[in-house]
Amino acid sequence: PSSQAAAVDTRAIQALDAAHYLHPFTDPKGINQRGARVIVSGQGIYLWDSEGKRLLDGMSGLWCMNVGYGRTRIADAVYAQMQQLPFYNSFFQTTNVPAVQLAAKLVEISPPQFNHVFFTSSGSEGNDTIVRMVRRYWDIKGQPERHVIISRHNAYHGSTMAGGSLGGMSGIHEQGGLPIPGIVHIGQPYYVEGGRGQSEEEFGLTAASWLEQKILEVGADKVAAFIGEPVQGAGGVIIPPATYWPEIQRICDKYGILLVTDEVICGFGRLGHWFGCEHFGVKPDLMTFAKGVTSGYVPLGGVLVGDRVAQALIEEGGEFNHGFTYSGHPVACAAALENIRIIEEEGLVQRVREDIGPYLQQRFATLADHPLVGSAESCGFVAGLNLVKKKAEKVHDCEPFDATLDVGMICRGHMFSNGMIMRAVGDRMIIAPPLTMTHAEIDEMIALIRLCLDKTL
């Protein structure tokens, strides 16, 4: 794959990039000075840039490349579908074969309460759909005053008006008038941040109790739904204590509130199950998915709709005035079907649960002895560590870095220079590698991370 590098004039591409391309979530001035790194090809867990340098992609692109790069089978499926029928909409009493087959497949692999699917092209659109769908549900049920959705600080649910509002990122809320009305936030279940003086189990119950407090503050008859990522991804791989999600479920059930899990990162094997809710033993009413459904080969997202909501929409709701031109796009659905076939044939979900997941967790935990590492946490095939200025025996006694230093970005810079992609979120360094990794590749990655931590010291 690195041979493609020869065909690219890096400086020319960087100049055009700086002149014309406004990148998402990027300070344009920052990128203009350095020049963006031009990624030209990928194979397995590796990427190559336009100068022929190889990078181990510890982030699966952007949490999506579950089956790894270079899957010609997906390319072939996409090509065949493009020739057969590149597009037709599924509005107005028409449908298409890949969309129907994918809906049936998603129902087959998801928990039993899910029998219906609504398609979008991204996770953000999926979460916009959630906002409209849960409010529509309560309208149909004759309780239109139930329109408030509770989410969490530091959650990421996308970047559209509704997705960015559901998310709890202050940087997003500061720009463009978010959050929209009727969305409120509670604290995140981050033990390192909030659990001083409590065991992890106690803290899980404390963090869940914030939901009940918020419900009582808003008024139980006004709350439509609670939404959360099973493991918060973009917020820094925040893995809740085992007591958290069952307690969240109990509180939602007590007040009759819809429970939504955002499975955009945690779905399709990331936590060793098809969906992350299964790892934590919760039964959501709705689930958002995207990313891993196609392993990012083609954009696709959607909402799995549980029977409680589906029955109301279908039996009592009439037309739901919502949808996108590309809902159920046949090419995207063909890519997803082939991607899911690969996950099944290679047993990647089980592999994460029983083989490479436990191996990564054991190897990642060894990083906790590094002088820069306050704690190293992992779950399934995601992991995060927090960088500290001064280590202590207990995680809550570690001395944090001054936020202005941006130690994460310094560490990330060393990673990049040494051929490793690891993401920095404040002082947390995180990974979510492809689910195809071998033990040897995990060893290589852990060694690279340790090397770059040494360089950051």
CB of 334 to ligand PLP, least distance (A): 19
CB within 8 A of 271, min separation 6: which ones?
230, 231, 278, 279, 352, 379, 380, 381, 382
Region near ligand PLP per CB under 6 A, out of 29-37, 227-235, 354-362, 363-371:
227-235
In this complex, which beta carbon is closest to ligand PLP, that of residue 48 or of residue 244?
A: 244
For the record, the structure tokens of 119 come out as 């398609």
The CA–CA distances, whole Å, from 381 to 82, 91, 113, 401 equal 33, 38, 26, 27
Judged by beta carbon, residue 227 or residue 395, the one nearer ligand PLP is 227
Q: Least CB distance from residue 296 to ligand PLP, whole Å?
A: 9
Q: Does 262 bind ligand PLP (CB under 6 A)?
A: yes
Among 50, 110, 122, 151, binds ligand PLP (CB under 6 A): 122
Q: Which stretch binds ligand PLP (CB under 6 A): 228-236, 275-283, 308-316, 416-424?
A: 228-236
Is the CB of 229 or the CB of 338 nearer to ligand PLP? 229
Binding letters toward ligand PLP, positions 182-221, x by CB under 6 A: ----------------------------------------
Q: Which stretch binds ligand PLP (CB under 6 A): 121-129, 212-220, 315-323, 363-371?
A: 121-129
Q: Quick one: which of 57, 128, 229, 278 contacts ligand PLP (CB under 6 A)? A: 229
Determine which residue in the list 123, 168, 204, 434 makes contact with ligand PLP, applying CB under 6 A: 123
Q: Rule CB under 6 A: choose which of 45, 149, 239, 265 binds ligand PLP.
A: 265
* Residue closest to ligand PLP, measured at CB: 123
Quick note: the x/- pattern for ligand PLP over 413-432, rule CB under 6 A, is --------------------
Which one among 130, 162, 234, 310 touches ligand PLP, defined by CB under 6 A? 234
Compute the least distance from the CB of residue 276 to ligand PLP, in Å: 10
Residue from 134, 290, 429, 452 that binds ligand PLP (CB under 6 A)? 290
124 near ligand PLP (CB under 6 A): yes
151-170 residues in contact with ligand PLP (CB under 6 A) are 156-158
Q: How far is the CB of 8 from ligand PLP (least distance, A)?
A: 26
- Using CB under 6 A as the binding rule, whether residue 260 contacts ligand PLP is answered as no
CB of 270 to ligand PLP, least distance (A): 11
- The number of residues that bind ligand PLP (CB under 6 A) is 16
Which residue ranges make up the site for ligand PLP (CB under 6 A)? 63, 122-124, 127, 156-158, 229, 233-234, 262, 264-265, 290, 301
